[in-house]
C-alpha cells in the first residue's frame, strides 16, 4: 500500500464512521453488525447494524409522524432545504469524495460525477418543484358550467432502495424530489455503501430538513428492503432486473406504486460519418467510467464497416493508455471493482467468451498488483450468440466490438436484447442521429455522447423500456411519481343530468346539439 493510500484511507477514520452511525435509524446495541470493506485494499472500513422488520417499521412510523407537518409547509419552504443542500454538497465535497472512494473503489473523477449530479438535481427541483406541483386547470365537462382543477398531494412515506455503484447519487437524487413534494423518505442503502448514505442524511439535517423525515435503515436487501416495501406508500428501486421483478410483485400485492431502474446491455452505434476522434473518446468514457459498473454504460459497440479498422486502432490505443489504480486525487482514470462477486462475474464472462472463440484486443486480466479487485479495461471482438457476454449484463469494464454495413442492421442488433435502458449514436449529422435514435428501443438515447448528455438533462425523464424498468426519474415525471393526483370539479347553475323541470327527452336533445357544436369548434373539443 502506498503512503498516499494509507493517508487518505486513514482520513476516513473511525471517528467519522462513528459519527455517521448516529444517523442510522436502527439501534446498534444488540444487533448483528455487517462489515464493509475498502475495495482498494480489502481492509475493514466499518460495520453497520443488520436492520430487522421491527427496525424498518419504527423508522417508517417516525417518518410518518413527521410527514404531516412537512407537507403543510409551502413548496417554497421545502425548496429552501434543497438550495442549502446544493451549497453544502459542493462546499463539503472533499470529505464525501474520500468516503465514496473508500466505499465503492471508484476513481476520483467518477466520484465527482456524483457530487455534481446531486448538486444539479437539488438545484433543478429547488427551482422547478413549485411549477411541477402547482394546481392545473383542466377542461370541465361543460365550458362555463364546470370548473375543474387537478391537485397534487404527497403519497406519504417513500421507500428508496439504492445500490452500491453510485452510492451518493442514487441515495440522494431520488430522495430530493420526494422530499420537496412533501413526503418523508426511508432509505435502505446497499450494505457496502451505508456510510455514504448516512453522510447524505447528516448533510440534509444540516440543510434544515426536520428530524425524522429522512431515515436510513442499514442491512440486507432481502430482509430490510423487503420489510420496507411492506410499510411505505411508494417504493423507488435501482438494481438488477431479477430483484426488480420481486420488488414489483411485492408492491403490486399492496397496490402501491413503484419505479424501477434496472439492468441494461447498452449499445453504441458509430455511423460511417462519425467524427472518429470524438467517438473514440466517447467510447472510452462510455465503456469504462466507474470501471463499467454503471447501468447506462456501453457494453456493445457497433461500428460501420467503412471505419471499423481505423476506429479499433484508436480505441485500443486509448484504452491501453488509461491509468488504472487506487488514488485519492485525479491522477487515475479507472478505479477498482467493488467486490469479489463483481470481479468473479467479469472474469467468468471474459473467460467464457475467449474459450468460445472471442479475441481480446486490450485488457482481459485482473491486476492484483494494484489491489485485490482491479481489472483492466477490456475490448473483445468475435463475440457471438451463445456466449454469456453476448446477451448478459457484465457490469464491468468490458465491451464487445461488432461490424455493421447498414443502419437497419445496426438498429436491429441494438434492439436485439430484452433490455432497453440507454444507447448512443455517433454521426456528424444531428438530424440523422435523431432519426436513428428514434428507432432504438431505449429510454434514453444520446447523439454524439455516451450517456452523460441524457442523464444530465435533468428536465427530461430518464428510465428504461422493456426489462430495464418502470417509471422515470428526473423532470416532471420524476417528482409527480411521488404524488397522488386529485381532481376537483365545481358545477355551476345546474347538474349535468339536466336543469330542474326539464324532461329527460328534451334535455337529451339539447345536450346532443351542444355536443355537435363542440365538435365543430376547435377550442371546445
277 catalytic residue (yes or no): no
Q: Tell me how far apart the alpha carbons of residues 95 and 97 are, in angstroms, rounded to a whole number.
A: 6
| Dihedrals phi, psi of 275, to nearest 5 degrees | -70, 110
DSSP-assigned states of every residue in 489-525? EEE-SS-TT--TT--HHHHHHHHHHHHHHHHH-GGG-
Q: Which residues of 459-475 are buried (b: 16+ CB within 10 A; e: fewer)?
A: ebbbbbbbbbbbbbbbb
- The C-alpha cell at 287 is 465503456
| Dihedrals phi, psi of 398, to nearest 5 degrees | -135, 135
Grid look-up 365543430 returns 520
- The C-alpha cell at 137 is 386547470
Q: Which residues of 327-338 are buried (b: 16+ CB within 10 A; e: fewer)?
A: bbeeebbbbbbb
- The C-alpha cell at 14 is 473511525
How far apart, in Å, are the Cα atoms of 161 and each of 187, 190, 432? 6, 8, 39
**DSSP H or E segment with residue 246:** helix 241-254
- The C-alpha cell at 396 is 464491468
DSSP-assigned states of every residue in 3-48? HHHHHHHHHS-HHHHHHHHTTBSS--TT--EEEEE-TTT--EEEEE
- Could you say which of 103, 202, 261, 376 is catalytic? 261
Q: Which residues are tagged catalytic?
A: 261
Amino acid at each position: 500500500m502506498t503512503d498516499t493510500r494509507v493517508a487518505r484511507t486513514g482520513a476516513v477514520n473511525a471517528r467519522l464512521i462513528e459519527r455517521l452511525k448516529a444517523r442510522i435509524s436502527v439501534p446498534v446495541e444488540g444487533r448483528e453488525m455487517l462489515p464493509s470493506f475498502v475495495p482498494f485494499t480489502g481492509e475493514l472500513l466499518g460495520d453497520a447494524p443488520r436492520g430487522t422488520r421491527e427496525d424498518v417499521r419504527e423508522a417508517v412510523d417516525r417518518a410518518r409522524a413527521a410527514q404531516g407537518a412537512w407537507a403543510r409547509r409551502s413548496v417554497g419552504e421545502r425548496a429552501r432545504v434543497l438550495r442549502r443542500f446544493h451549497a453544502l454538497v459542493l462546499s463539503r465535497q472533499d470529505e464525501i469524495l474520500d468516503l465514496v472512494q473508500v466505499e465503492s473503489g471508484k476513481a476520483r473523477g467518477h466520484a465527482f460525477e456524483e457530487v455534481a449530479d446531486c448538486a444539479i438535481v437539488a438545484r433543478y427541483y429547488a427551482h422547478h418543484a413549485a411549477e411541477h406541483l402547482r394546481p392545473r386547470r383542466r377542461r370541465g365537462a361543460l365550458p362555463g358550467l364546470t370548473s375543474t382543477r387537478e391537485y397534487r398531494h404527497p403519497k406519504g412515506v417513500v421507500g428508496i432502495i439504492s445500490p452500491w455503484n453510485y452510492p451518493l447519487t442514487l441515495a440522494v437524487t431520488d430522495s430530493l424530489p420526494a422530499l420537496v413534494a412533501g413526503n418523508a423518505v426511508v432509505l435502505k442503502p446497499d450494505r457496502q455503501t451505508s456510510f455514504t448514505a448516512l453522510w447524505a442524511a447528516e448533510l440534509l439535517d444540516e440543510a434544515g430538513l426536520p428530524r425524522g423525515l429522512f431515515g436510513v435503515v442499514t442491512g440486507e436487501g432481502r430482509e430490510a428492503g423487503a420489510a420496507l416495501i411492506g410499510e411505505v406508500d411508494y417504493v423507488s428501486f435501482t438494481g438488477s432486473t431479477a430483484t426488480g421483478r420481486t420488488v414489483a410483485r411485492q408492491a403490486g400485492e399492496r397496490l402501491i406504486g413503484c419505479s424501477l431502474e434496472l439492468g441494461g446491455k447498452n449499445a453504441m452505434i458509430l455511423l460511417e460519418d462519425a467524427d472518429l476522434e470524438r467517438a473514440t473518446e466517447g467510447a472510452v468514457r462510455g465503456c469504462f467510467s466507474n470501471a463499467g459498473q454503471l447501468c447506462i454504460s456501453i457494453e456493445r459497440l457497433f461500428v460501420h464497416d467503412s471505419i471499423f479498422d481505423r476506429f479499433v486502432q484508436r480505441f485500443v490505443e486509448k484504452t491501453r493508455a488509461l491509468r488504472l489504480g487506487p488514488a485519492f486525487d485525479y491522477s487515475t482514470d479507472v478505479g477498482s471493482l467493488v467486490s469479489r462477486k463483481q470481479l468473479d462475474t467479469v472474469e467468468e464472462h471474459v473467460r467464457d467468451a475467449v474459450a468460445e472463440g472471442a479475441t481480446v484486443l486490450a485488457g482481459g486480466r485482473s491486476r492484483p498488483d494494484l489491489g485485490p479487485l482491479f481489472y483492466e479495461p477490456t475490448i473483445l471482438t468475435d463475440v457471438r450468440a451463445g456466449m454469456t457476454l453476448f446477451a448478459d449484463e457484465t457490469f464491468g469494464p468490458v465491451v464487445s466490438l461488432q461490424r455493421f454495413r447498414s443502419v437497419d442492421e445496426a438498429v436491429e442488433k441494438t434492439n436485439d436484447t430484452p433490455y432497453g435502458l440507454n444507447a448512443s449514436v455517433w454521426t456528424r449529422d444531428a438530424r440523422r442521429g435523431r432519426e436513428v435514435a428514434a428507432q432504438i428501443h431505449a429510454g434514453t438515447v444520446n447523439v454524439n455522447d455516451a450517456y452523460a448528455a441524457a442523464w444530465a438533462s435533468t428536465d427530461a425523464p430518464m428510465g428504461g423500456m422493456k426489462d430495464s424498468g418502470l417509471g422515470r426519474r428526473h423532470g416532471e415525471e420524476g417528482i409527480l411519481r411521488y404524488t397522488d393526483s386529485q381532481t376537483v370539479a365545481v358545477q355551476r347553475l345546474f347538474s349535468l343530468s339536466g336543469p330542474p323541470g326539464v324532461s329527460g327527452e328534451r334535455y337529451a336533445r339539447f345536450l346532443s346539439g351542444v355536443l355537435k357544436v363542440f365538435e365543430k369548434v376547435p377550442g371546445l373539443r
